[in-house]
Structures are given as structure tokens and as C-alpha cells.
Structure 1
């Protein structure tokens, strides 16, 4: 059996995050706070033996991943399937501006087949993210289900189980949808940091992926507003 520990994180704060605009698949640069949050992600994970970073191709995620790479010192790859949910005609608009839109609550706070105008449903983006993680796991497990050779390290084994640690840098809403729909042991309270912000920039969720039987299990949530503190076990 192959077990991969995914560390799923949201990029650092951006200019549009700061002023409350929907970004979706558009982009804006990291703020100074965003750069500090990216550094905070790296410092949280420096002792977690990260073997690989895989990032969304959107610039805010790439910038966050590149900062993390300097600290954790491992290869960095990019995956277009990890980009944020497509918010369609809401992208570029203020969040307060679209709160009165039909089905806003169902679209932005639940996970279902509802979608913003000309956008992507929570269900579809969660499925996209799930498949991206499975593809990453398969690519890094090679042809063996019993041993993964980690770069410059001895193989990590637990009985007949191979373990590899992969940091995935992605986005807030696609993480929300995936965790809610596909991850065992997840509840909304585990997404709230010490500052009472849900799915905040820099949030980290450790999720174990098992290939046989195929499933994702929440192992921990790490809070960069409380350095090196595990808030869910």
C-alpha cells in the first residue's frame, strides 16, 4: 500500500484578498503580509521531511511555493489542475457586491452543483482537485506500491507501507470544496485558525492518501498564526 502525506496549503494574502475581491482564476500580487505567510508555511513544515512541492500555476500560488522551496529545499513542480475555482462573472468583483446574488450562500458556502454565472460548481472543482492529487500520488509512487525512493534519503517504511510527503500550494475555495466533500474526519471547525478565520491564507491541512483502498483522511491542521502548533490531531 502507498501512503502519501499531502500538506495542502492556501497561498499567502494577495492585494485582492486584502480588499475583499473575488479572484478565482484571475490574479493579484502577494502583499507584504502574504510574503510573511508564505515564509510561515515553510517554517511550519521545515521538520516534516517534505520531498516535493506541487503548486497551482496561478502567480500567487507560484510565488508562495517558490518561497517555501527555499526553506524546505526540495523540487518544485506545477499542476494547472490545482488552480482556484472559476468564479465566472463574479471574478474581479467585490465580495460584498455579489452577496445579494441568487444562490450566493449555496454557491460560496456549500458544496453542490450550483455555480456562479459562467463559472464552476463546488462539486466540479472538488472533483478536479481530487483527481489532481491522485495523479500526483500516482506519478510519485512509480510502479511499486511497497516502496518509494525519496530523493537523497533512505526509503521510508512502516511495515509494508511507503510514505512520501508532498506540499501542495493551492487556493482557498477549491481546498474548502475538496476537504468538505472527499476528506474523512474533516469538519468546518478544523479550518478555523486562532484568529477565527476559516481557510485563511497560509492554512495547512495534512491529509493522508491511501491508494488501497483509495481514500483521503485528515491527519492534522497546522496554524501559522500559532507557529509550530498542531490544532487538530
Structure 2
């Protein structure tokens, strides 16, 4: 039997337009669609008892966690180490703008996805080194059901690590807005039971 089940969510939708952007530390609230996604998970997970509810300290993660955990009577634990990857000077800017203004750097990012750092930002390798120790501390000795609301990059590096996948493959892992990943933790280690689930 698992010692703990980790319900690892990506926060709900926070987009304000249809433009594809680099969204890291830009601190947007949930959109109406994102709130609806979180409320749907609140409904689907209402039968569970959560021993802990954990989120990053960015609004879109915090708001999702509050809505999903509504009625569970568990205080939110905000962990800054679970923030999304820092995109530095590219944060909030559109892919089209960066591709046009910095074509060489844009191409390098695609070719060196694990190690490329935008100016003033982090690489996915940097993100992994920040997130994995925080995740290990959170789950050490944990029992019961844990709700963890992360971000697309955060969740991808965690799942890559748990599956033994190299970071260069992280975008093979889907992480739609408001998706759920199911992870069982036991004395034998971790088992990923579901990835990018839109519903149970």
C-alpha cells in the first residue's frame, strides 16, 4: 500500500489573450477559465482528505490551491522554491517577439533546452536543482493525500526525475492548464500513476 498519494496539479488557466508567451515569474491571477478548472477539481476531489496542501507563492498557484482545497480545512503552505522557471528578460514576452528580436538565442533554447538560460533567467537544469530538494523535503515522512499545485515547468522536471527521463525530453510530457498528475510514494520509492489528466 502506498504511504502517500500526491495529487500534483498544474495551476488553472491564467492567460489574458491568445498569444503564446514565456510565462515564468510574471504573477498573473487565474482567468475565469482557470477558476472554473480549479472549481471542477474541488468537486472531483471533495471526497478526499488532504493531510497537506502545498503551492508556490505565485497567485495562479495559490488561487488554484485555495479553490481546490475549499472545505478541506487544511491551511495552505506556500513554498517559494516551487515557483515557475524564471524566464528573466523574456518573461511575459511573446514567442513571436523573442523569435524576431533574438533569433539566434531563440534557436539555441530549442537546441539546448535543458541548459539554456535567457538573460537574467534560469535554465531547466537550474529549475531542477531548485525544485527537487524542496519536493524531497515536502514528501519526506508524509502520509495520506497531499495536494501540490505547481507549474508546467516545475511539474515537468519533477516527473522527468521520477521517471528517470533526461531533461532534454521534458516537453514530451504534456501539462495542460489545470491538469492532474498522480504519484504514489511508498518505502520503495515513487510510482507515477497518471500524467496530464484533465479529469479523474
For the aligned pair, the TM-score class normalised by the smaller chain equals 0.7 to 0.9
CA offset at residue 137 of structure 1? Answer: 1.8
Q: 1:204 aligned to 2:184?
A: no
Mapped contact 1:45–1:72 kept (Cα < 8 A)? no
Q: What TM-score do you get using the length of structure 2 for normalisation?
A: 0.82
Q: CA, structure 1 residues 3+116, in 2 after alignment: closer, same or farther (shift >3 Å)?
A: farther
Q: 1:103 aligned to 2:82?
A: no
Mapped contact 1:42–1:67 kept (Cα < 8 A)? yes
Q: What TM-score do you get using the length of structure 1 for normalisation?
A: 0.71
**Gapped regions of structure 1 (runs ≥ 5):** 142-147, 149-162, 192-197, 229-233
Q: CA, structure 1 residues 43+21, in 2 after alignment: closer, same or farther (shift >3 Å)?
A: same
Mapped contact 2:181–2:197 kept (Cα < 8 A)? no
CA offset at residue 185 of structure 1? Answer: 7.5
CA offset at residue 103 of structure 1? Answer: 1.4
Q: 1:47 aligned to 2:21?
A: no
Which residue of structure 2 lines up, in the alignment, with residue 78 of structure 1?
78
Higher relative contact order (CA 8 A, sep 6+): 2
2: CA distance, partners of 1:190 / 1:207: 18
Mapped contact 1:11–1:60 kept (Cα < 8 A)? yes
CA offset at residue 178 of structure 1? Answer: 2.3
Q: 1:217 aligned to 2:196?
A: no
2: CA distance, partners of 1:5 / 1:190: 24
2: CA distance, partners of 1:204 / 1:188: 17
Please, what is the CA RMSD of the aligned residues? 2.8
